[in-house]
């Protein structure tokens, strides 16, 4: 008993210490703010008193930490802190929204409601998509909903270690699929970078820890180099009499890994492992000229690489990011990226949307976030699609960079990168989109699917006789255009389907059956998505009424299925012994797998061809609609999409033991084409020296360079890694990598 009391006292002190730390991060709260924060804290402590996190610690530490991240790392104010403290009380405890409104008022209650998951989404096709759509619909009213959601996800990702592996993968996939791109779109670079690193730590732990270790090992050498680089630049900047800061920052583990994969080079050959950042403290009116003067100083000291100059000071990125980037050749011929920005630019770069309000009205031109939010509103207003379609449109449209194009009168329009001429027509007006027959770009006629480029001037020709058709869905990418084309298609199907509906009504009148009930029976039996689709198929002679009604009969004014005739079961044929032996052999050679802790043989399962898992890979099982379970690698190219959209269909899978089963693995090999004999050397090494079977071998060469793809049969990842190491050591072979 004393031990329990002692533990309770320790936890109480821990909670109070976390709360005091939170209070220290809140800048200048007024009296009402302080009262609200205290009330929110006390209510949350009481509501979550019986709850614990997976790690065993008191649950209340989570909302306190989310509130601290909001205040300290995102720079949000007292209202966001109150909402962060309360963000789980309605969802996880008996506290109601009415109680919150009585204590804290309507605004705080509305934000907390936006942060509360939908109760009804458990039976939706994708609960994650439904809930994300709800969050987004609240974002257009109050952006703090999404920013608090970011802080919540950030703390969950930082403390994911105590969760089971399959749940870690699901949460990481959702973070990578939705939250990291959204953080980027809102200009939260620090949050985006941490999300990417934390996701990589879960999905690809081996390269993550390998790069982290090498970064640590090279830290002193890197710091020495940065100091050597900075010294002559600082000397010249001192003469400017402008307050400045200059320092080196290592690139994120994820971005280094991306470079290693993209450039197919080892860690040691990645030069830009860090960037040098120069931050200047000057007033807004002098920012641009001072940044360019500092650029001049840097390029006087070190030779620049002209094609690597990026000017986001003159034209900021569409998410508000402003900075001047250049790459120069530093001491020892090493490439060094230099970022030049002001204190204001740096705060917006680090905190994005959260810092935006502080500087609102200071920038020239349209407000980038307002333009972006208008796009979100547009997507929500026009969305009669399901949540998965909405999420797909949202990712396509609102995570992309923009292109800036012009009307014939010179008005600028901003559309997502990849938008087409037809998207432009819909962006002007829905009717112009519906009746668009041709488009001219810079006075030259282009196809409707032409992808817009910055600076294009566009004019649209229309005709009242023109109307959307099915092929238009392949020509548009913006949410507004896709939604309008889908609506037009549905309306056209509905209009054409009237004839089919009338024919069905006549038939059911003759059969003396209830129309509504009988149509419902047909739709359900034949798996039609809607009544409209059934009527459309009848109107276009895709199906005949007689064929549809064959398995049905009229009974009590209703259409019911004809019961199957009872037949005696035919005697079971005795399978020849050879068949049984073959099945036994087949089962013996099947890899031992566990799904959800049970033998996988209890399920119908197969290995996914998109990633070809090999024994030893980290894997998961995905329940398909009609092909049983598919076993995927955890870092499969499709894993993020599946886990983020269909998390409830993901099952834990693991290898149950070693077997003699072989698995397909595909390798990509590149190198210097040293003439005839390369194919023979590679196949000799694999078949003769390593004793493995080659299923397929493709190789091609150009200008002294070759690229080959080899499909092998291996028993496990150890054997596969041995193949990769062996082939890498061959003369003239540059890279060997497994194809995802």
The catalytic site residues sit at: 91-92
Distance separating alpha carbons of residues 93 and 630, to the nearest angstrom: 37
Half-sphere exposure of 426 (CA within 13 A, CB side): 29
Cβ contacts of 542-545, under 8 Å, gap ≥ 24: 545/503, 545/504, 545/507
Q: How many CB atoms lie within 10 A of CB 102?
A: 10
CA 434 from chain centre, in angstroms, equals 32
**Residue appearing with tokens 């920052």:** 249
- Across-strand partners of 555? 558
Enter the tokens of residue 597: 């802790």
**Residue appearing with tokens 């996800």:** 153
Pick from 191, 127, 184, 134: nearest CA to 157: 191
Q: Are 708 and 668 in contact (CB under 8 A)?
A: yes
* φ and ψ of 524, to 5 deg: -70, -45
Distance separating alpha carbons of residues 140 and 145, to the nearest angstrom: 9
- Rg, C-alpha atoms of the chain: 31
- Across-strand partners of 278? 246, 340
Pick from 68, 38, 223, 210: nearest CA to 148: 68
Pick from 447, 433, 414: nearest CA to 482: 433
Half-sphere exposure of 123 (CA within 13 A, CB side): 1
Enter the tokens of residue 652: 């834990």
Pick from 465, 415, 474, 458: nearest CA to 437: 465
DSSP class of residue 56 equals: S
Pick from 366, 479, 376, 489: nearest CA to 146: 376
Enter the tokens of residue 123: 């039976």
């Amino acid at each position: 008993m004393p031990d329990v009391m002692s533990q309770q006292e320790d936890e109480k002190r821990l909670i109070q210490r976390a709360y005091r730390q939170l209070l220290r991060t809140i800048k200048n709260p007024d009296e009402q703010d302080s009262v609200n924060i205290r009330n929110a804290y006390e209510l949350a402590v009481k509501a979550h008193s019986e709850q614990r996190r997976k790690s065993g610690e008191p649950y209340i530490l989570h909302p306190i930490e989310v509130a601290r991240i909001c205040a300290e790392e995102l720079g949000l104010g007292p209202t966001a802190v109150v909402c962060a403290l309360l963000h789980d009380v309605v969802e996880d405890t008996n506290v109601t929204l009415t109680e919150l409104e009585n204590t804290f008022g309507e605004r705080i209650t509305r934000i907390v409601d936006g942060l509360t998951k939908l109760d009804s989404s458990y039976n939706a096709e994708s609960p994650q998509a439904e809930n994300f759509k709800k969050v987004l619909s609240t974002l257009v009213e109050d952006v703090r909903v999404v920013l608090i959601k970011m802080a919540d996800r950030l703390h969950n990702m930082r403390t994911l270690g105590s969760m089971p592996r399959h749940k870690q993968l699901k949460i990481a996939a959702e973070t990578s699929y939705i939250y990291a791109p959204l953080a980027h779109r809102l200009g939260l670079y620090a949050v985006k970078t941490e999300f990417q690193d934390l996701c990589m730590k879960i999905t690809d732990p081996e390269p993550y820890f390998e790069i982290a270790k090498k970064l640590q090992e090279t830290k002193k050498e890197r710091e020495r180099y940065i100091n050597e680089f900075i010294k002559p630049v600082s000397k010249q900047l001192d003469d400017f009499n402008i307050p400045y800061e200059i320092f080196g920052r290592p690139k994120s583990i994820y971005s280094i890994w991306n470079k290693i994969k993209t450039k197919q080079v080892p860690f040691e050959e990645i030069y830009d492992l860090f960037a040098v950042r120069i931050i200047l403290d000057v007033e807004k009116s002098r920012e641009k000229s001072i940044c360019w003067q500092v650029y001049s100083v840097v390029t006087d000291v070190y030779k620049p690489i002209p094609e690597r100059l990026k000017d986001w000071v003159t034209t900021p990125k569409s998410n508000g990011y402003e900075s001047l980037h250049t790459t120069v050749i530093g001491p020892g011929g090493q490439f060094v990226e230099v970022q030049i920005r002001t204190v204001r630019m740096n705060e917006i770069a680090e905190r994005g949307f959260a810092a935006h309000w502080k500087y609102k009205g200071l920038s020239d031109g349209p407000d980038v976030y307002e333009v972006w939010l208008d796009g979100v509103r547009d997507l929500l207003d026009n969305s009669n699609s399901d949540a998965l379609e909405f999420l797909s449109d949202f990712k396509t449209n609102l995570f992309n960079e923009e292109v800036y194009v012009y009307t014939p009168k010179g008005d600028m329009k901003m559309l997502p990168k990849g938008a087409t001429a037809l998207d432009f027509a819909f962006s002007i007006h829905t009717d112009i989109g519906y009746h668009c027959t041709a488009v001219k770009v810079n006075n030259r006629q282009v196809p409707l699917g032409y992808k817009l480029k910055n600076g294009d001037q566009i004019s649209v020709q229309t005709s009242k006789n023109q109307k959307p058709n099915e092929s238009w869905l392949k020509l548009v990418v913006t949410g507004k255009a896709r939604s309008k084309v889908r609506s037009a298609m549905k309306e056209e199907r509905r209009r054409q389907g009237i004839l089919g509906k009338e024919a069905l009504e006549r038939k059911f009148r003759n059969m003396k059956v209830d129309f509504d009930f009988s149509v419902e029976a047909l739709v359900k039996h034949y798996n039609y998505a809607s009544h409209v689709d059934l009527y459309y198929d009848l109107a276009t002679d895709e199906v005949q009424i007689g064929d549809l009604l064959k398995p049905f009969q009229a009974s009590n004014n209703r259409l019911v299925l004809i019961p199957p005739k009872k037949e005696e079961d035919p005697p079971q044929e005795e399978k020849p012994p050879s068949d049984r032996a073959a099945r036994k052999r087949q089962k013996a050679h099947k890899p031992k797998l566990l799904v959800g802790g049970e033998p996988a043989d209890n399920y119908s399962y197969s290995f996914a061809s998109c990633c070809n898992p090999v024994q030893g890979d980290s894997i998961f099982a995905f329940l398909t609609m009609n092909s049983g379970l598919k076993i995927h690698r955890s870092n499969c190219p499709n894993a993020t999409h599946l886990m983020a959209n269909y998390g409830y269909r993901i099952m834990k899978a693991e290898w149950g033991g070693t077997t003699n089963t072989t698995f397909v693995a595909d390798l990509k090999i590149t190198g210097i084409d040293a003439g005839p004999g390369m194919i023979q050397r590679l196949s000799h090494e694999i078949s003769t020296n390593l004793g493995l079977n080659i299923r397929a071998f493709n190789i091609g060469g150009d200008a002294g360079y070759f690229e080959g793809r080899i499909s092998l049969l291996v028993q496990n990842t150890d054997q596969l890694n041995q193949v990769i190491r062996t082939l890498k050591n061959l003369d003239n072979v540059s890279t060997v990598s497994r194809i995802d």
